[in-house]
Amino acid sequence: MSTYQERVNEYDKLLSCDKIDVSALKDKCFRGIPEGKSRRSISWRILLGYLPRERKLWKDLIHEKRNLYKQFIDEMIVSTPEANSPVIEDHPLNPNPNSNWQNFFKDNEVLLQIDKDVRRLCPDISFFSQACDYPNKDMVRRGSDRLHQRVNQSQLDEERSLRKGVGPSVLASVPKKRAKEDYAPLSEGQEAHWEVVERILFLYAKLNPGQGYVQGMNEIIGPIYYVFATDSNLEWRENAEADCFFCFTSLMSDIRDFFIKTLDDSPTGIRMMMLRLHSELERTDTAVFNVFEAQGIKMQYFAFRWLSLMLSQEFPLPDVLTLWDALLTDDTRCDMLIEVCLGMLRLVRSQLQTNDFASNVKLLQNYPEMDVRLILQETRNENNPNRS
């Protein structure tokens, strides 16, 4: 078995190739991405389809994408209803549903929920409450017009942005990771990481009006942004916001069915995902399956959150990153996620067989701390007993 340093050298050699072997990269990612030297951030950009395998294409592509993102900000955030309303008849009291002012007020309704959610993102670490190294200069200069100041904080406990379905919002309202208090804005001239995430999610909602923002998306974007915004390479870190937007958009295009009610029964809808997990459990682990059947434990009690949020709520963020190193190698975004969930159930089989109903539900909703590499090893061994 190769030593750690040999594995690191092999990884660096692979990423330095003029044309990266994506299949080989996926294999190495599943085994765990070595920390440092932008390995994880570059690998995730490739796995999420942002960077092509040909390195010579990177410079022009990221330049184009980052300019496009700046254009989104200029047109959808910096620009005001007054600037977009050359016709004098358009004003804040204009009842026309197509007026720029009406769109502005509708945007604020969505912004209420986004603002609430990002102020509680990843409470197990203080990162998102801290100042980012490269604040958006246009936003910082705007002062009182920044996104979080467009919403009335007193309304946050009263207003709700409804999901177009029965997805993560159901369980996200009682998240496993609870923040003791909401993150606060920083002093003038600074911008916290949660504000950057708020901007990304707001732009995503604006550009995807058919889906909009759904509670739980904040948990999906959190790991991606953290990886990009903590990159040791200053250029990558400086452009974390734009790159994160496009990578998040790519991932959401793959798992959007989790968040849309009309697609719950599609092959990749959340209800069908839970049914697949139930069927696979019956096929591969009759002992645990029989416990669930005897005690009336339904997948909705725990697997809803596991699947819809890609396990981002079940473990501390560093462990989530290790899991996502593996999960992002699966182009379906579903098959390996189900296999990992099965592995998690196998690893607590003995407890499940001895616990009563209440203890088992508590165990599954608060999965015990363990080395997540054991979960991935369990998944790997089950799928390929000869692979180590």
Percent of the chain with pLDDT over 90: 68
Q: Is the confidence at residue 387, as pLDDT, over 80?
A: no
Q: pLDDT digits over 239-261, tens only?
A: 999 999 999 999 999 999 999 88
Range of the domain at 21: 4-52
Single-letter residue type at 80: T
Mean pLDDT throughout 296-306?
Answer: 97
Q: In the predicted model, is pLDDT for residue 167 greater than 50?
A: no
pLDDT at position 317 over 50: yes
Residues 155 and 82 in one domain: yes
Same domain, yes or no, for 225 and 355? no
Q: What is the dihedral sign for C-alpha 282, 284, 290, 291?
A: negative
Mean pLDDT over residues 356-382, rounded?
A: 95
For the residues 191-213, what does the mean pLDDT come to?
A: 94
Examine the domain organization and report whether 61 and 75 are in the same domain: yes
Residues 114 and 198 in one domain: yes
Q: Are residues 94 and 221 in the same domain?
A: yes
**Does residue 360 share a domain with residue 270?**
yes
Mean pLDDT of all residues in 8-18? 96
What's the CATH number where 353 sits?
Answer: 1.10.472.80
Q: What sign does the CA torsion over 253, 259, 262, 267 have?
A: positive
Average pLDDT, the chain: 86
| 10-24, 79-93, 156-170: the lowest-pLDDT one | 156-170
DSSP lists the bridge partners of residue 131 as: 192
Contact 110, 212 (CB under 8 A): yes
Q: Which two tokens stand for residue 362?
A: 């508590």
pLDDT digits 0-9 by tens, 84-116? 555 545 555 445 555 554 566 577 788 999 999
Within this chain, do residues 244 and 270 fall inside the same structural domain, yes or no?
A: no
Token representation of residue 323: 């899991």
Task: Identify whether residues 212 and 271 lie together within a single domain.
Answer: no
Give me the pLDDT at residue 263, please: 84
Establish if 259 belongs to a structural domain.
no
Residues of the chain with pLDDT > 70: what percent? 82
Indicate which CATH number applies to the domain containing 46. 1.10.10
| 179 and 279 housed in the same domain | no
Domain boundary, last residue among 215, 232, 254: 254
The lowest-confidence range among 146-160, 161-175, 241-255, 284-298 is 161-175
Residues 357 and 341 in one domain: yes
Do 92 and 216 reside in the same domain of the chain? yes
Stretch 57-66: mean pLDDT? 98
Token code pair at residue 343: 């592995």
**Predicted confidence (pLDDT) at residue 376 exceeds the cutoff of 70:** yes
Q: Which residue has the tokens 């999610």?
A: 201
* Lowest-confidence segment of 105-114, 234-243, 347-356, 369-378 by average pLDDT: 105-114
Per-residue pLDDT band for 140 (boundaries 50, 70, 90) equals confident
pLDDT number for residue 166: 41
Type of residue numbered 337: L
pLDDT exceeds 60 at position 160: no
What is the number of domains present in the chain? 3
On whether residue 260 sits in a domain, the answer given is no
pLDDT for residue 171: 44
Kindly write down the DSSP assignment for every residue of 68-120, as one continuous string: HHHHHHIIIIIS-TTTT--STT--TT---TTSHHHHHHHHHHHHHHHHHHHTT
Please check the confidence at residue 385 and state whether its pLDDT lies above 50.
no
Query: For residue 78, what pLDDT is reported?
Result: 79
> pLDDT class for 81, splitting at 50, 70, 90?
low
- Can you give the pLDDT at residue 383? 67
Statement to judge: residues 60 and 47 lie in one domain = no
Q: How confident is the model at residue 149 (pLDDT cuts 50, 70, 90)?
A: confident
User: What pTM did the predictor assign?
Assistant: 0.88
Query: Considering the domain boundaries, does residue 234 fall inside one?
Result: yes
CA atoms within 13 A on the CB side of 145: 11
Statement: residue 297 has pLDDT above 80? yes
Residue 388 lies in a domain: no
Helix (H, G, I), strand (E, B) or coil at 19: strand
Cβ pair 316, 290 in contact under 8 A:
no
Instruction: Report the C-alpha gap between 343 and 356 in whole angstroms.
Output: 21
How far apart CA 160 and CA 112 sit, in angstroms, is 8
